[in-house]
Chains A and B, each alone.
Chain A
Amino acid sequence: MKKLLLGNEAVARGLYEAGVRVVSSYPGTPSTEITEAAAKYDELFCEWAPNEKVAAEVASGAAIGGARAFCAMKHVGLNVAADPLFTMSYIGVNAGMVLAVADDPGMHSSQNEQDSRNYAKAAKLPMLEPSDSRECKEYTKLAYELSEKFDTPVMLRLCTRVAHSRSIVECEEREELPVKPYEKAPQKNVMLPAFAKEKHPMVERRLQELAAWAETSGINRVEDNGAAVSVITSGISYQYVKEAMGDQVNYLKLGMVYPLSESQIRAFAEKAETLYVVEELDDFLETYCRSLGLKVIGKERFPRCGEFSQKLVRKLLAGEELPSLSVEEKLPPRPPVMCCGCPHRGLFYALKREKVYVSGDIGCYTLGASAPLGAMDTCICMGASVSALHGYNKARGPEAEQKSVAVIGDSTFIHSGITSLIDIAYNRSNSVVIILDNSITGMTGHQQNPTTGYNIKGDPAAAVDLEALCRAVGIGRIRVVDPYDLKAVSAALKEELQAEEPSVIISRRPCALLKYVKHAAPLRVKEESCVGCKACLGVGCPAISMQNGKAAIDATQCVGCGVCTSLCAKKAIG
């Protein structure tokens, strides 16, 4: 049956058809839908893990235990999972294991633009790179064959435009595979130095065997159009070149981007009059070509930063640009904003008012950095808000401790904030950590997490008791506030900043977009009372605007949270 599937959904379909049994992931754009789609198949055990390291380890254990296993993450999640990855490369598998990583060139929803292909090389693992949904499914299934044939975890690399594009996929039946027997084999599975020393040469040999396999398997494809210009490319870049140049160039389309086949690339290069390497982000393929002494044109022509497109390829390979129209007026940008009724809004407004240093983190609340709230000083990576605040306070001393906070969401806190909080308690800085508990993983589109009381299937599950957890790691001062109650938030902030010991404030209210959250009636501005002071605009609510010198509230958007009401000195909003 033909279906129009997202690349991510096609990977999930591949998991289903390949007889995979265990899936463990942490959500991260643009990888999230793989695991969401996989969870719809009853035959697969699927879970949200607390972070990517845990997910990769769960998949490793399942593969050792004899079931085909999988984990997915975004590019920065792979940094978290790198520890198990490098050693799983030595151990290999019993049943197949595949790790999917989704890069985000152009940073649609990420804090950096790292190129995950470098991890395949560093961890000495094979990496396949599909260019559309059909290949997403095919390569996923192929990855399991490779994994078992060569006794290695296999990496599957997606990017935003492959993960989040739909194309047509032919769906097939599931191959039901029995769990393989487990045999105790410490020399294979216990990476003591003595055993690891035996393993490393095997890993190096495995890479050579994989390169030889790539050469004959058809995973890398030559399209000879008898053209003067030849292009080595892979993944989405292949589609861009294909769109822009059609059959005016010859292609070596690499389905396996690591390890690379020397003889295949040499043979293609020998026939080429002019040879380009077209790849987004790093000069990964180009560097290899140059190491073979081949003359290629790569990053001196094509950028290292940002996404490619057929427009870019057309311009840089053919020197052509399509004509287009535009209006003369300067158009105001439309940046993303916190939603109407977002529980983060009140909290960030209070932080802005207190003029504190805000050590930020990854989630919807990173939008607290934007105007008009502007209440964030740093944002590094998952969990860094808490540890970086501790460092900041150790650097700047007691005065800073009374003027600084960390903000971290419930899911991010579970991901990697807990160890940082232990550092604060153990190595004592009088830091104030605010956990923004909105009862869901918001930014990636509402995934359950260990604090919500539900698992990925929506079934009831154990819930982390945040207050008890904070107490257990050694925090003495813990309080809960409702972020819609600005007075209470400000009072709690003032008190905890003054305190002579570390403290945690839990700002608790469910995300306004959750289906079970009941909304109050939309608020209205009493025109006769409004003096047009614009105080209410300070919270940055998309429902509030100025009309003819008075504030106005869009009734189709307002959910009646009342944060603006408490800011109005004239009591004009109600």
Chain B
Amino acid sequence: MNEGKSVIIVGVGGQGTLLASRILGNAMMNEGYDVKVSEVHGMSQRGGSVVTYVRWGKEVASPVIETGEADVVLAFEQLEAARFLPYLKLGGTMVTNTQCISPMPVVTGAAQYPRELLTEMEKLGVNLFAVDALSLAEQAGSVKAVNVVLLGAMAKQMDVEKEIWLRAVENSVPERFLELNRKAFELGYQSGY
């Protein structure tokens, strides 16, 4: 058994971060790890910044991940990637969607959407993997499969067998969306590096 890991999944309410965290949690439980997954429900889900924590290892105490602790930050949106960068362990890996979704203060003109976030993170020496998950999801057959594309992209960065991931995806989505999600995972997995 490998050492445990801490993964933060961040995005915007409605992007499917919860499902991604459950797929990941179940995959690791089936691997024989102790697992904790912390979710956010309620008010903050309404288009706000949403974060879930997935931790696995021999024994996991806290269900949350704090600044400087995450092995991987999986971001569904650029601004959220930058917001949760402080949670990444030094030397950790950031996998992010290139999609930008303007928050309300940007929509109303009260703030600007920072344009150079990816470059800035690279300059800081972050192991950064950026994926255009929205396009790949469309290619797989539905923009709603962004979450599974991103899981695929992250899976490539972690030393867990691909079959285990695929099984976990299959166990977590309805039968009629199986093919779509398999394809989405594969496109994410193949998306470079």
A-B contact pairs, 8 of them (CB 8 A): A108-B43, A132-B63, A322-B89, A332-B111, A334-B12, A334-B104, A336-B47, A546-B107
Q: Does A217 contact B (CB under 8 A)?
A: no
Interface segment among A221-229, A381-389, A534-542: the answer is A534-542
Q: Does B141 contact A (CB under 8 A)?
A: no
Known: A243-B62, A325-B126, A336-B44. A537 touches B107 (CB 8 A): yes
Q: Does A100 contact B (CB under 8 A)?
A: no
- In the bound complex, CA of A444 to CA of B42 (Å): 5
* Count of A interface residues, CB-CB < 8 Å: 60
B: contact size bracket: 35 or more
Question: What would 15 more interface pairs be, CB under 8 Å, given A167-B60, A240-B61, A339-B46?
Answer: A30-B42, A161-B38, A164-B40, A164-B41, A309-B62, A323-B90, A327-B120, A332-B110, A333-B103, A336-B45, A366-B43, A371-B104, A371-B110, A542-B104, A542-B107
- In the bound complex, CA of A160 to CA of B136 (Å): 35
Return chain B residues, CB-CB under 8 Å to A328: 120
Contact yes or no, B41 A334, CB < 8 A: no
Instruction: Pick from A29, A242, A322, A372: contact of B41, CB below 8 A.
Output: A29
How close is B111's CB to chain A, nearest CB, in angstroms?
Answer: 4
Find residues 44-83 in chain B having any chain A CB closer than 8 Å to their own CB: 44-49, 60-64, 66-69, 79-80, 82-83
Q: Does A544 contact B (CB under 8 A)?
A: yes
Contact yes or no, B63 A322, CB < 8 A: no
Contact yes or no, A327 B117, CB < 8 A: yes
Contact yes or no, A324 B86, CB < 8 A: yes
Q: 1/0 contact trace for A293-329 toward B, CB 8 Å?
A: 0000000000000000111000000000111111111
- In the bound complex, CA of A339 to CA of B48 (Å): 10
Contact yes or no, A324 B88, CB < 8 A: yes
Contact yes or no, A370 B38, CB < 8 A: no
The chain B residue sitting closest to A338, CB to CB, is B46
Return chain A residues, CB-CB under 8 Å to B174: none
Contact yes or no, B126 A109, CB < 8 A: no
- In the bound complex, CA of A332 to CA of B22 (Å): 29
The chain A residue sitting closest to B134, CB to CB, is A556
Q: Does A6 contact B (CB under 8 A)?
A: yes
Contact yes or no, B48 A161, CB < 8 A: no
Q: Does A239 contact B (CB under 8 A)?
A: yes
Find residues 64-89 in chain A having any chain B CB closer than 8 Å to their own CB: none
Contact yes or no, A339 B47, CB < 8 A: yes
- In the bound complex, CA of A212 to CA of B129 (Å): 58
Q: Does B109 contact A (CB under 8 A)?
A: yes
Contact yes or no, A29 B39, CB < 8 A: no
Contact yes or no, A537 B109, CB < 8 A: yes
Q: Does A458 contact B (CB under 8 A)?
A: no
Q: Does A331 contact B (CB under 8 A)?
A: yes
Q: Does A112 contact B (CB under 8 A)?
A: no
Q: Does A443 contact B (CB under 8 A)?
A: yes
Return chain A residues, CB-CB under 8 Å to B63: 132, 161, 165-167, 236, 239
- In the bound complex, CA of A239 to CA of B38 (Å): 13
Return chain A residues, CB-CB under 8 Å to B80: 334
Contact yes or no, A329 B120, CB < 8 A: yes
The chain A residue sitting closest to B43, CB to CB, is A109
Instruction: Pick from B43, B61, B102, B143: contact of A243, CB below 8 A.
Output: B61
Find residues 152-177 in chain A having any chain B CB closer than 8 Å to their own CB: 161, 164-168
Return chain B residues, CB-CB under 8 Å to A480: none
- In the bound complex, CA of A165 to CA of B37 (Å): 5
- In the bound complex, CA of A309 to CA of B61 (Å): 11
Contact yes or no, B102 A445, CB < 8 A: no
Return chain B residues, CB-CB under 8 Å to A167: 34-37, 60, 63
Return chain A residues, CB-CB under 8 Å to B43: 29, 108-109, 336, 366, 443
Q: Does B106 contact A (CB under 8 A)?
A: yes
Q: Does A545 contact B (CB under 8 A)?
A: yes
- In the bound complex, CA of A540 to CA of B105 (Å): 10
Q: Does A4 contact B (CB under 8 A)?
A: yes
Return chain B residues, CB-CB under 8 Å to A329: 82, 114, 116-117, 120
**Residues in A lying within 8 Å of B, measured CB to CB:** 2, 4, 6, 29-30, 32-33, 108-109, 132, 161, 164-168, 236, 239-240, 242-243, 309-311, 321-339, 364, 366-367, 370-372, 443-445, 534, 537, 540, 542, 544-546, 556
Known: A309-B62, A329-B114, A364-B46. A168 touches B35 (CB 8 A): yes
How close is A530's CB to chain B, nearest CB, in angstroms?
Answer: 15
Return chain A residues, CB-CB under 8 Å to B38: 161, 164-166
- In the bound complex, CA of A126 to CA of B37 (Å): 29
How close is A328's CB to chain B, nearest CB, in angstroms?
Answer: 7
Contact yes or no, A545 B102, CB < 8 A: yes
How close is A163's CB to chain B, nearest CB, in angstroms?
Answer: 9
Q: Does B85 contact A (CB under 8 A)?
A: yes
The chain B residue sitting closest to A538, CB to CB, is B108
How close is B85's CB to chain A, nearest CB, in angstroms?
Answer: 6
Contact yes or no, B66 A311, CB < 8 A: yes
Q: 1/0 contact trace for B92-116 toward A, CB 8 Å?
A: 0000000000111111111111101
- In the bound complex, CA of A327 to CA of B79 (Å): 11
Q: Does B166 contact A (CB under 8 A)?
A: no
How close is B34's CB to chain A, nearest CB, in angstroms?
Answer: 6
How close is A205's CB to chain B, nearest CB, in angstroms?
Answer: 38
Q: Does B1 contact A (CB under 8 A)?
A: no
Interface centre among B13, B39, B45, B48 (most CB of A within 10 A): B39
Instruction: Pick from A166, A367, A546: contact of B37, CB below 8 A.
Output: A166
